[in-house]
Amino acid sequence: MPDTATILTVIAIVVKVVIATMVIFSLPLPLTWIERKVAGHIQVRLGPWRVGPHGLLQPVADTIKLLFKEDIVPAKADKFLFWLAPLMAMVPAFAVFAAIPIGDTVMVPIINQEIALYIADMNVGILYILAIGGLGIYGIILGGWASNSKYALLGGLRSSAQMISYEIAISFAAIGVVMMSNSLSLVEIVRSQNHGIFSWNFFYLPVGPVWFAIFFIGSLAEINRIPFDLPEDEGTLSSGYITEYSGMKFSFFMLAEYVAMVSVSILAVIMFFGGWNSPFPFTIGLPSILADLLALIWFFGKVCFFIYLFMWLRFTLPRYRYDHLMVIGWKILIPLSLVTLLVTGFMRIIG
Amino acid sequence: MNEGKGRFDIMELIKKVLFTDFVKGLVITFGYNVSMDSVITVKYPDEEKWIPYRRFRGLHTLNRTADGRELCVACELCSKACPTRCITVIPMEDNTGRGISDRVAKVWKVDLVRCLFCGYCEDACPTRAVRLGREYELACFDRNCAVKNREELLRPQPVPEEMSGGVVAKARLRTTPDGIEVVADLSETRKRRV
């Protein structure tokens, strides 16, 4: 018979997993609305307006529509893979969140328990995220292959080439962060940046901004967003790997895309912008619960900024041509990251 | 080659490294994103409706004189001029003062499904009886209701001839058993943003 403390820990973990899953599942609802509003206003339109005040109920309407839509499977498609692909895209996007912290341990006053605001603080967290995040590409390749359509297959192929190329640059950026922060654990990476804005990895001059640029460009390509959304290039591939998908299967792909966008935003904040640390080097003597709340606000503020940045970029930039994409990946980002790695190493030895 | 060129290239490289072009574009789109005044959407049909200019060619109207007599003399020139033959005119004699002459239209109908709104009928009309008005909500459920006859066209249209148009008027969507219609309040208008 396990003792009470173990049972409590298990219960806490289960509750955290359930809450995290529910929050992640409902993320696309506000995000699609925000994205369409941002798109509308950037293109001097209003965006969703008619369903609910300011179109707020539009995502609900979209969900209902997708639920009741006919789930079409092409006659010559590989039925099993066609069914499996959305799950293969979605599960890794969710699994990544197991290692993503949203805050340090907090003291909850009523139950008088220390609660950690992460599901697991793995000592290899950053590697886990890169590995699991890389699995998401299987969903896209399988979706493209199983659809038995030229457009879908080309989208899947493009996506695999693109993601594999940019994975290298992202991994180098992660190595850079590990060198700057001296840890592979995401919680430790954040703790190493807790002396105000100039202790953030972004301000580890001169290499911090370069690492950030490499990471940001690479992750734009990883999550298939403009300017690197070639796998679903409407102009040449109709919709790429999601051409043949409809109904809930389609929405699973969209869910995976949005969750990936959020997790990349969170990673950018954790790795380069100090996570839940405030930009001020001093601490004001707040009661611990308020300080924890403030940390959460800083964290979500930064994450929201990055999510907005992704949307903002999407409606500002055109799409790259495919060979340009490959040139950026192989001829610029990878050599640049090797050089930066060398500089970072020297800086660690000297400093 | 010369030194000036070399310096220029270095400047270009620095601009590229600092993503200046991207930042310029982002600043422009951010300006659009935060300013509410730049929105050009007309909230049709819930709140607003576009009132076209006078030159607009919409649904036909048959005009009357100031004392209420029909201007149409049923000369059939409009139906002769019509390139799609969508206007049917059947004349009859009437000396009760319904029209401005003894000859008035017994039937004057236009098939809007065929009509291409070219305006030849109003050019051909010797008495300026037929004119293409500013009514543009012509959708209906079957082909029969797309044929408009004399009685309907003689009714004055909601936008008066004197109004120069080219504005967005306040409006509301009204649902009636016959269908829906957008009622514009012509006293409250605004210019269209461009």
- What pLDDT was estimated at residue B22? 86
Global model pTM greater than 0.80: yes
Sequence-distant (≥ 6) Cβ neighbours of residue A65 within 8 angstroms: none
Give the fold, CATH level 3, of B48-190. Answer: Alpha-Beta Plaits (3.30.70)
Task: Give residue B1's pLDDT.
Answer: 45
Residues in A 41-60 with any Cβ partner in B closer than 8 A: 41-46, 49-50
Q: What is the pLDDT of residues A182-196, one digit of tens each?
A: 888 888 888 888 887
* Average pLDDT for A17-27: 87
Say what the pLDDT of residue A48 is. Answer: 87
Q: How many CB pairs under 8 A join A and B?
A: 35
On chain A, the residues whose CB falls within 8 A of the CB of B40 are 44-45
What single-letter amino acid sits at A122?
M
A38 in contact with chain B, both atoms CB, cutoff 8 A? yes
Which chain B residues are within 8 Å of A313, Cβ to Cβ? 26
Candidate from A49, A50, A312 with C-beta closest to B29: A312
B187 pLDDT tier (thresholds 50, 70, 90): confident
- Cα(A233)–Cα(A147) distance, rounded to whole angstroms? 17
What would the mean pLDDT of B22-42 be, rounded to a whole number?
85
Instruction: Transcribe B110-134 into DSSP letters.
Output: EETTT-----HHHHH-TTS-EEE-S
Tell me the average pLDDT across A267-285.
81
Q: Which residue intervals of A96-185 are DSSP H helices?
A: 125-146, 150-181
Q: Please determine, for residue A306, whether its predicted confidence score (pLDDT) is greater than 50.
A: yes
Average pLDDT along chain B: 85
CA A154 to chain centre: 24
List all residues of chain A from 310 to 349 with a beta carbon under 8 Å from chain B. Answer: 312-313, 315-317
User: Cis omega before residue A206 (within 30°)?
Assistant: yes
Confidence at residue A329, expressed as pLDDT on a 0 to 100 scale: 87
* Average pLDDT score over chain A: 85
**Tell me: the pLDDT tens digits for B53-80?**
988 999 999 998 888 888 999 999 999 9
pLDDT of A87 strictly over 80: yes
